[in-house]
Chains A and B, each alone.
Chain A
Amino acid sequence: MYNKGTIIPGLIIFVLFVTFPIWFNGLKAGTLPKPELPPGGEKKCVMPVEYMRANHMQLLNEWRDNVLRDDNRTVVTVEGKKYRKGLQMACMQCHSNKEKFCDNCHAYTAVKPYCWDCHLTPKEAASKEETH
């Protein structure tokens, strides 16, 4: 073998790059996030849980477009219960704890939704009630 001095370190660097997740995690898979269920004990949502787990961001995006861009504030009625379209007006009414419900999974998968650029969490909203 020729040029051992450069090829062997090069190959070691390559293998280290490829196996990055193995040594970075140190074989610890971490804990799976468990979003907190509504503290009020509600069991029904606008959609089944499987759909919400996979598609909630698309539903929220659609509602955002409906309300802000198309001025369509039609109330969503699911099994007799009425929901106004909105993160604070619908979702956060039951899932009142953003930190324990939203952030749990978002932090796990490095998702940074920009909902909170405009919206207030229930906690923030409560503290700002007097100003508007």
Chain B
Amino acid sequence: MKYAFSFLAVIALILIAGLGSQIPGMQYFFGVAIPYLAIMLFVGGFVYRVMQWAKSPVPFSIPTTCGQGASLDFIKQDKLDCPSKTSEVVARMFLEIFLFRSLFRNTKSEIHGGPKVTYESSKWLWLFALLFHYSFLLIVIRHMRLFIDPIPFWLSAIEGVDSMLQIGAPTLYLSSLALLGGLVLLFGRRLVNAHVRYISLNNDYFPLVLIFAIGLSGILMRYFLRTNIDIINIKNLAMGLVTFSPVINVKIGAIFYIHLFLVSTLLAYFPFSKLMHMGGVFMSPTRNMANDSRAKRHINPWNDPTIKPHSYAGYEDEFREFMVDAGIPVEKELSAVQDEA
């Protein structure tokens, strides 16, 4: 029942915003103060986290090598899975960021009678993740219509494609369904798969439940709970927020404040959670380094510059007499060294 806490937390947030926004005078708190605070925490926290990572030295060259590395000419290198040049690293990162290539390799391990361990390809995670991330991206882009004026044609085009089935009025967005579907599948995976369930924590469940509640509140606001949901007033508030002149002079339905408060929570929570993989994917040394440690020496930034490299020849020079005394074989005999001198 680890996930119960996430549901309780989200329900509490919904109650805070739903009831709080109905108190006269609190509309500015939920509609202006909280969103500003959240976006400041998001941007500030994000930059802070990335700077912290940027300050951490990478002591070793640790790219994950998932294929044949660069070797002799007649051995074919797997350029994407074991990049040795910056261009190949960029290609690998591009596919990782846009197509989640590492999730494509996800495997499921099982023990059968025998005992025998099997590893089977399990692409569900990859599929659900693609579904979720791309629909979320589309939804974020789509929301820009409330924050910019005049609206550029590409935004209307995205909007048109997303509502191309022309179901109902306001028209149904396909990305809304895809987002909720993706979240249910990702959540379900954590419940159904015993291995994943065992390692799942509250901070794995909470973002899923929170984003689900955001999507659901948005859908309820758009299609069902439309009382006092006049998009003109909402865009007026959103435009006020991004031009630093926010005004709320009309009544806006509680569902809007719930939606906004949950989004603000997500933004504020983002930099301090696992959601930072958005920035972290660019920063992970196992992905962004080239496997070229044999061609280029990787200098550990921790190294004390006063400690010079010590070759075996130098070591032998230093301890030759003791080695000979102890009967340890040496490359240069004591007599040969004395001849040189």
Contact = CB atoms under 8 A, between A and B. Distances in A.
Interface string A107-119: 1111111100000
A57 B230 CA distance: 11
A54 B230 contact: yes
Contacts of B51: 1, 11
Interface in B28-47: 39, 42-43, 46-47
Interface string A82-102: 000000000000000000000
26 contacts: A1-B54, A2-B54, A2-B55, A7-B54, A10-B50, A10-B282, A11-B50, A15-B43, A15-B47, A18-B42, A21-B148, A24-B148, A29-B239, A29-B243, A29-B245, A30-B149, A54-B230, A55-B226, A60-B169, A61-B169, A105-B232, A108-B149, A109-B146, A110-B155, A112-B156, A113-B169
Interface in A35-80: 50, 53-55, 57-58, 60-61
Contacts of A32: 232, 236
B19 interface: no
Chain A interface size, as a band, is 35 or more
A55 B230 CA distance: 8
Contacts of B155: 110
A25 interface: yes
Given A3-B54, A25-B149, A112 B43 contact: no
Contacts of B232: 32-33, 53, 105, 108-109
A22 to B, nearest CB: 5
Nearest to B235: A109
A27 interface: yes
Contacts of A61: 168-169
Which 4 pairs show the lowest CB-CB distances between chains A and B?
A21-B147, A61-B169, A30-B149, A57-B169
Contacts of B235: 108-109
Chain B contact residues, majority secondary structure: helix
A14 B230 contact: no
Nearest to A23: B242
A1 B55 contact: yes
Contacts of B189: none
A123 interface: no
A112 B159 CA distance: 9
A108 B123 CA distance: 43
Contacts of B229: 54
B29 to A, nearest CB: 21
Contacts of B145: 109-110
A28 interface: yes
B227 interface: yes
Interface in B20-72: 39, 42-43, 46-47, 50-51, 54-58
B240 interface: yes
Contacts of A108: 149, 232, 235
Contacts of A18: 39, 42-43
Nearest to B146: A109
Contacts of A105: 231-232
A4 B301 CA distance: 14
B280 interface: no
B314 interface: no
A131 to B, nearest CB: 27
A108 to B, nearest CB: 7
B57 A25 contact: no
Contact of A21 (B55, B56, B231, B242): B242
Interface string B163-183: 000101110000000000000
